[in-house]
Amino acid sequence: MGSEKSVPVTFTDAGEHKSIDLPLMEGVLGPKVLDVRKLYADHGYFTYDPSFSSTASCESKITFIDGDEGILLHRGYPIQQLAAQSDFMEVACLLLHGELPTAREKEDFVNSITHHTMVHEQLIHFYRGFRRDAHPMAIMVGVVGALSAFYHDSLDINDPNQREIAVHRMIAKMPTIAAMAYRYSIGMPFNYPQNHLSYAANFLYMMFAMPTEPYRVSPVMEKAMDRIFILHADHEQNASTSTVRLASSSGANPFACVAAGIACLWGPAHGGANEAVLNMLKEIGSVERIPEFIARAKNKDDPFRLMGFGHRVYKNYDPRASVLRESCYEILKELGHGAEPLLDLALELEKIALHDPYFIEKKLFPNVDFYSGIILKAMGIPISMFTVLFAVSRTVGWLSQWKEMIDDPHMRIGRPRQLYTGHAQRDYVPASKRP
């Protein structure tokens, strides 16, 4: 990254012509960036960008997205290659440490994650405080936040060893906490993690095994789960990652910050979309009703949106959706679901939307959530758990970004400014004198 040049920005303010030189920064890929950090201190102006459409909030070396071309790279590696040739634990090492691990490094990492999967027995009592019909994301926010009350030896963010332990603990415990949320909701006993299983297989075991009989994890399910984890692992400065970064910028402990990320992810405009897609497909019900829903999505007076379509950054096919689209057929065939009515419906919806002028003009393409739900449903994962799975996987991205931020010497507390449009100063009026 460099800022060797500066560019003049000229404008007129109250009739006065102004010219300000702003440093121009250039990354390895992506648009150049105007550095406005000293704009207020030197010239008394703020910039206005409420939803950060044009604002680089940090410098990062982890993930790159070219939304126009539909490109997603993790540490330079295309997501398609990682999904086809890597596995989630290796991708986690890559995101956290910057390079693909050697065989020994990977073995050590997997070993450490495997041996941190159990949660403190007392944490188990927390679950009883929730209603059985609580949404598992509500349980995730509560229980992950509560981890900071249990692991006092990994709360000091200034100690690199404690940071590393916190990272391993969270990656390891997230599937355990998630599976427990599901088991609680269906009134089944919790399953302890099994160290001989892979990350994905262990998660499936904890979700579905019955104490009364042996449970064999299907290799097809294990591979599908692992691929879904890879595809959701990181996505640069999205809303939940920015939430984690902002929360961490105050010096809060990483367990609390990841709980904040989970809360943000829950929304239907973000990670909650995979659940919303399935509910939408069920509501549409048949191919004949698709035009009705397309019309609703286009109607400005109707809040309905086509879930799984559109993206702030991708103005092209989301590359993760392309991978999952391919996987969908493969997995459904291997799982013996041959014809999944919801997949047929989804494909027809996609076809119609992709040819509709409204969606073409606004560059609304299917995103990752459009297909993930169909695969997860075929795997027997309950709809309310879809966003939870996203959170399990994204924990790796949140923590990679968190680590990068803590190591950044320029890190300061995040503190956006505002354009104030309320009352100017006025005097207090006693109640007896108010109209």
Binding site for ligand CMC (CB under 6 A): 238, 269-271, 273, 297, 305-312, 362, 364, 367-369
Closest alpha carbon to 308 in 334, 342, 341, 338: 342
Closest alpha carbon to 286 in 340, 329, 341: 341
Residue with tokens 């927390």: 126
Given the DSSP bridges, would you call strands 63-66 and 33-34 parallel, antiparallel or unpaired? unpaired
Closest alpha carbon to 206 in 224, 221, 190, 222: 190
Nearest residue (CB) to ligand CMC, 146 versus 321 = 321
Between the two ends of the chain, the Cα-to-Cα distance in Å is 60
Q: Which of 87, 226, 318, 369 is catalytic?
A: 369
Nearest residue (CB) to ligand CMC, 311 versus 377 = 311
Nearest residue (CB) to ligand CMC, 175 versus 308 = 308
Nearest residue (CB) to ligand CMC, 39 versus 313 = 313
How is 349-405 classified by DSSP, letter by letter?
HHHHHHHSHHHHHTT--B-HHHHHHHHHHHTT--GGGHHHHHHHHHHHHHHHHHHHH
Here the tokens at position 218 are 């299907």
Distance CA 262, CA 255 (A): 11
- To the nearest 10 degrees (0 to 180), the angle between helices 319-334 and 341-355 is 150
The single-letter DSSP state of residue 256 is: H
- 244 contacts 262 by C-beta, under 8 angstroms: no
Task: Residue 62: count other Cβ atoms within 10 Å of its Cβ.
Answer: 21
- 232 contacts 394 by C-beta, under 8 angstroms: yes
Q: Where are the alpha helices (DSSP H) in 53-97?
A: 79-85, 88-97
Nearest residue (CB) to ligand CMC, 110 versus 368 = 368
- 100 contacts 407 by C-beta, under 8 angstroms: no
Closest alpha carbon to 295 in 344, 353, 351: 353
User: Cα 40 from chain centroid?
Assistant: 32
Q: Which of 87, 270, 311, 356 is catalytic?
A: 311
The yes-or-no answer on residue 97 being catalytic is: no
Nearest residue (CB) to ligand CMC, 270 versus 377 = 270
Task: Work out how close the CB of 291 gets to ligand CMC at its nearest, in angstroms, rounded to a whole number.
Answer: 14
Phi, psi for 43 (deg, rounded to 5): -130, -10
Task: Work out how close the CB of 49 gets to ligand CMC at its nearest, in angstroms, rounded to a whole number.
Answer: 13
Distance CA 104, CA 22 (A): 47
Task: Work out how close the CB of 297 gets to ligand CMC at its nearest, in angstroms, rounded to a whole number.
Answer: 4
Task: Work out how close the CB of 369 gets to ligand CMC at its nearest, in angstroms, rounded to a whole number.
Answer: 5
Task: Work out how close the CB of 138 gets to ligand CMC at its nearest, in angstroms, rounded to a whole number.
Answer: 18
- 286 contacts 38 by C-beta, under 8 angstroms: no
The yes-or-no answer on residue 311 being catalytic is: yes
Residue with tokens 């992810």: 265
List strands edge to edge, sheet with 63-66: 63-66, 71-74, 77-78
- 37 contacts 59 by C-beta, under 8 angstroms: no
Tell me which residue has its CB nearest to ligand CMC: 310
Task: Work out how close the CB of 162 gets to ligand CMC at its nearest, in angstroms, rounded to a whole number.
Answer: 30
Active site residues: 311, 369
